[in-house]
Amino acid sequence: MHQGNVLLLLHAHLPFVRHPEHEEFLEEDWLYEAITETYLPILEMAEDLEREQVPARFSIALSPPLCEMLADPLLQSRYLRRLDRLLDLAAREVRRTERDPAVNGSARMYLESFRRARATFEDEYGRNILRGFRRLQDAGRLQVLTCGATHGFFPLIGRVEGVRAQVRVAARNYERHFGRRPDGIWLPECGYRPGQEAILAEEGITHFFVETHGLAYGAPRPRCTVYAPVRTASGVFAFGRDIESGRQVWSASEGYPGDACYREFYRDLGYDGEYAWVKPYLHADGQRRHLGIKYHRITGKVDLHMKAPYEPERAAGRAREHAGNFLFNRQQQLRHLRGVLGRAPTVLSPYDAELFGHWWFEGPQFLLALLRQSAAQDEVRFTTPREILAQGGPVQRSTPAFSTWGNKGYAEVWLNPSNDWIYRHQHAVEDRMVALAAAHPDAQGPVRRALNQCAREVLLAQSSDWAFIMNAGTAVPYAHKRFKTHVEAFLRLESRLREGRVEEDYLSGLESRHNCFAEIDYRDFAPGSSR
């Protein structure tokens, strides 16, 4: 008997990193690693489910910066170059480890994985894997959602026009890549401030997602808490995150990814291999870094040098066991909730997509096993927000409370002494961009190009990634530089526009380097705009 629904939602996002001025760039590796380890395996998983006619569905939010990078010919060619180097290294590793059965199986696994990735990337999707997600959505196999244009953190954007531009540019970009308008949006960092859903309604977006306390403390408090969507005053629906299903995957102490059988992320051939052996596969600076070939398992709470060899088949078996456990727990949870609520509950289980495959190597195997196993029972239905809303039925009206996900749930990750200095500059360029848009209601030619580039620079400065990186203490100099680069570029363009001229060489350089959102319209920042 059907007890309830589970919304499995993956949020895929990376900051816009593209540096044509450098032959190799460390931060571009974030994209290349994620393509191989996360995006291609998730796409392959969805295609397997389609071939097997498994009825389960899931959703994925693909952020506009990620979509722009995945569709960029320069980054596509650089990814292929990286993949070819990994193929060469993996083939050499298979030969090197022939007499070491403890790791040779893993070496062969990597070689086969890289070969499959290359065939899928180049031969099946012509280097643009967005085509795969678009086809699967058109076939009704999954739901693709959008996000803020540059993952700008909505609650800390200084002007309503800035939030509106994030949503409008995202919706237009989604339409270019997926051939339809988006109906669902992942609010960057689940950052919600009451009233901002009205902007979503303007763009035809019907639903979004908030952290648990955002819905639980809504006004009025929903009777079903997070186990049913609520309808806001603007007619847009909000879903709230379920803590219990999240903990089983996210928690470092209780979650599945910490199992001793799974692959150890921090032991990598780029550090373990003899330097002369791995040097040809490092960047030109010769510094050791992760290459994606890892031969050890988590083992337990032991030092890295004590980690045991990784056993792929054993880890795959454990992923299937954990999938069965997750499904069992959802059955028990939904039975209980249905008895309490008197209706079929909906459990929202959202995760960063990059957890699956990149951080948790066996994650895509877990997802595939979970959705396959779900086909053998009828209590839990894995579906999408779009399908839940299409069913209709009574829905409670409520306005969610201010909330975010992340540590403590109230924006502290993105506003603290490590990063608070950025907002006075961000708000200043937002104000100036709104003034520029008001002063040029219908610009043409080079002036229009300059205004559009001004809008790009503001959007890129708004990216929540810079504040997040500063808080995390990783790649902080890069985050500082990127934020300052976009603010300074905007100010220089604005200064020339106010002087009545355009530096075309400088503008062309910016358009080449910061080339996201070909469809951008600077008038999205215009005050009171209803375009």
CATH of the domain at 387: 3.20.110.10
Looking at residue 154, what is its pLDDT?
98
Asked, for residue 452, whether it belongs to a domain, the answer is: yes
The pLDDT value given to residue 491? 98
Contact at 8 Å (CB) between 33 and 113? no
User: Annotated catalytic sites, by residue?
Assistant: 189, 352
Q: Does some domain include residue 530?
A: no
The separation between CA 400 and the C-alpha centre of its own chain, rounded to angstroms, equals 23
pLDDT of residue 531: 47
Please list the pLDDT of the chain residue by residue as tens digits (531 residues): 899 999 999 999 999 999 999 999 999 999 999 999 999 999 999 999 999 999 999 999 999 999 999 999 999 999 999 999 999 999 999 999 999 999 999 999 999 999 999 999 999 999 999 999 999 999 999 999 999 999 999 999 999 999 999 999 999 999 999 999 999 999 999 999 999 999 999 999 999 999 999 999 999 999 999 999 999 999 999 999 999 998 888 776 778 999 999 999 999 999 999 999 999 999 999 999 999 999 999 999 999 999 999 999 999 999 999 999 999 999 999 999 999 999 999 999 999 999 999 999 999 999 999 999 999 999 999 999 999 999 988 899 999 999 999 999 999 999 999 999 999 999 999 999 999 999 999 999 999 999 999 999 999 999 999 999 999 999 999 999 999 999 999 999 999 999 999 999 999 999 999 999 999 999 999 997 544
**What is the pLDDT, as a whole number, of residue 252?**
65
In a shared domain, residues 346 and 427 = no
- Of the residues 376, 408, 440, the one at which a domain ends: 408
Token pair for residue 135?
A: 């086809």
Domain ranges, residue 404: 4-71+128-257+310-408
**Is 419 inside a domain boundary?**
yes
Total tally of structural domains belonging to the chain = 2
Residues 331 and 393 placed together within one structural domain of the fold: yes
Per the listing, tokens 């498994």 go with 54
Say if residue 340 is in the same domain as residue 468: no
Rounded to the nearest 10 degrees, what angle do helices 476-498 and 464-472 cross at? 150
Are 392 and 464 contained in the same domain? no
> Does some domain include residue 291?
no
479 lies in the same domain as 357: no
Q: What is the predicted pLDDT for the residue at 528?
A: 76
pTM beyond 0.75: yes
Write the CA distances from 62 to 58, 109, 130, 145, 174, integer angstroms: 13, 28, 9, 6, 9
Geometric angle at alpha carbon 522, from 150 and 165, rounded to 5°: 40
- Residues 379 and 442 both lie in one domain: no
Choose one of 408, 428, 457: the last residue of a domain: 408
* 28 and 167 belong to one structural domain: yes
Shared domain for 387 and 248, answered yes or no, is yes
CA distance 77 to 60: 25
Q: Do the domain assignments include residue 304?
A: no
Same domain, 400 and 458: no
Residues 252 and 137 both lie in one domain: yes
Residues 368 and 432 both lie in one domain? no
Q: What is the DSSP string of 423-466?
A: HHHHHHHHHHHHHHHHH-TT--HHHHHHHHHHHHHHHHHHBHHH
User: Residue 377 domain-assigned?
Assistant: yes
Q: What is the CATH number of the domain that holds 517?
A: 1.20.1430.10
Q: Is 67 inside any structural domain?
A: yes
Same domain, 369 and 423: no
* Angstrom distance (rounded) from CA 307 to CA 441: 63
Q: Where does a domain end: 408, 438, 471? A: 408
The reply to whether 108 falls in a domain is no
Strands (E), 167-292: 185-186, 207-210, 230-231, 237-240
**Torsion on CA atoms 174, 175, 179, 185, rounded to nearest 10:** 50
